Amino acid sequence: GWASLGFALQNVTGPATIFVKEGTYTEALPMTIPANVTLKGDGQRNTIIQPQVGDSQETMFFVNNGVLVEEFQFKGLTGFQLSDSFPHDIDEATIGGVYFRLDPTAVITKSPYIKESTAFSSGGIGAVIDGGLNSNPANNGSMVFHTFTQVHDTGAGFWVRKNGKSEIVSCFTYYCDFSLVSTSGGKIRAL
């Protein structure tokens, strides 16, 4: 096996599956999951990914077309802070650590899929789905979530913006300043 998840992601091309055995993995951020790669943990209570010291306000994962992530616990991001002048406007907030974002160079035709995982933070954001990252007309700018539980004290769960699209099924958020929010044409389909 490889010594770190970051190293594995830098040295794999899809289609492929990376199996991550139980344990706590402290990683340099950000990490990019290449197209058509699956990350499979050894249980969302037993396989923990966290940032190395100094990286708690970075993006943990940039995801690409056809990515699947399942059975992990993510923790340790911070940095989200509401504006004193506009406390009800997420667009005016300070953004720090984000667990999942679309890779800005990706053309998404098969939505990245995050499932059966949990994220914990004080001031982190679970996912930012930004549909306005590139102008390629084939880009759907979309992500799918199933049973992705998020516990973010003074943070945010799902932020869909700039015509991004999301499907959020059986997901729960706790203690967030914003649980599910869409801005600038973002679309949320939730159940």
Q: For every one of its 191 residues, what pLDDT tens digit does the chain have, with 9 covering 90 and above?
A: 677 899 999 999 889 999 999 999 999 999 999 999 999 999 999 999 999 999 999 999 999 999 999 999 999 999 999 999 999 999 999 999 999 999 999 989 999 999 999 999 999 999 999 988 877 778 889 999 999 999 999 999 999 999 999 999 999 999 999 999 999 999 999 98
Q: How far out from the chain centre does Cα 147 lie?
A: 13
How close are the terminal C-alpha atoms of the chain, in Å?
38
pLDDT at 165: 95
- Predicted pLDDT of residue 116: 97
Look at the pTM and tell me if it is higher than 0.75: yes
Say how far apart CA 82 and CA 116 lie, in whole Å. Answer: 29
pLDDT of residue 98: 98
What are the CA-CA distances from residue 23 to residues 13, 71, 170 (Å)? 24, 12, 26
* DSSP reduced 3-state for 18: strand
CA distance 143 to 127: 9
Distances (CA, A) of 190 to 43, 139, 146, 180: 25, 21, 10, 9
